[in-house]
Amino acid sequence: MGFLWIKALHIFFVASWFAGLFYLPRIYVNLAMETDKGATARLLLMARKLYRFMTILAVPALVLGLWMWLGYGVGKGPGSGWMHAKLAIVVFLVLYHHGCGVLLRKFEQGANTHSHKWYRWFNEAPTLGLLGAVVLVVLKPF
Ligand code: HEM
């Protein structure tokens, strides 16, 4: 498959993965405020399905990125500081994704300890990650 096809699909899966990274913590904001049992059960179901789906979408996003890096050598060799910085952001995003799963299990056990305000701030992290990764990969500043 041509490099540009891989890049196009990489962007497609990254965008789809981020739909989940942006929306799942919004469900947590609502879960943290909800007191009605029926509504909580519905939100938990939505969260569980979204987490499963975004985990599936993250895999091709990362594999296609690794393919361009290790297979085609883009971001390897001298002048690839941007790639290392981007990989640091990717590690952060994967940990954030995993953290979302941990928080989901807490909600399922009725053991959430954070306020809806905390989740509103938590929700901002992937926005910064996306901005950083896109700036690094497009401008390649170092
Ligand atoms: C294992 C993880 C990843 C690796 C190894 C990787 C690697 C790459 C490589 C080598 C390119 C091609 C750059 C070029 O053509 O100059 C690329 C493009 C791109 N990546 Fe990733 N990537 C990964 C994850 C991500 C993530 C998490 C995001 C978003 C937050 C992202 C956003 C983008 C974008 C927007 C482009 C297109 C830039 C352009 O048009 O040149 N990537 N990636």
Q: How far, in Å, is the centroid of ligand 1 from the Cα of 102? A: 26
Q: Low-confidence residues of the chain, pLDDT below 50?
A: none
**Cα–Cα distance for residue pair 99/8, rounded to 1 Å:** 28
Q: What is the pLDDT of residue 80?
A: 97
- Domain holding 58, by residue range, is 3-139
Task: Could you list the residues known to form a binding site for heme, using ranges.
Answer: 10, 86
Q: What is the total count of domains within the chain?
A: 1
pLDDT at 125: 98
CA–centroid distance, 10 to ligand 1, in Å, is: 7
User: Which of 141, 24, 15, 34 lies closest to 84, judged by CA?
Assistant: 141
Q: Which atom of ligand 1 is nearest to the CA of 74?
A: 10
pTM over 0.85: yes
93 lines ligand 1 (CB under 6 A): yes
Residue 140 confidence (pLDDT) = 97
State the residue for tokens 């290392």: 84
CA of 13 to the centre of ligand 1 (A): 11
- Determine the pLDDT at residue 78: 94
Q: Determine which residue's CA is closest to atom 42 belonging to ligand 1.
A: 65
pLDDT of residue 72: 97
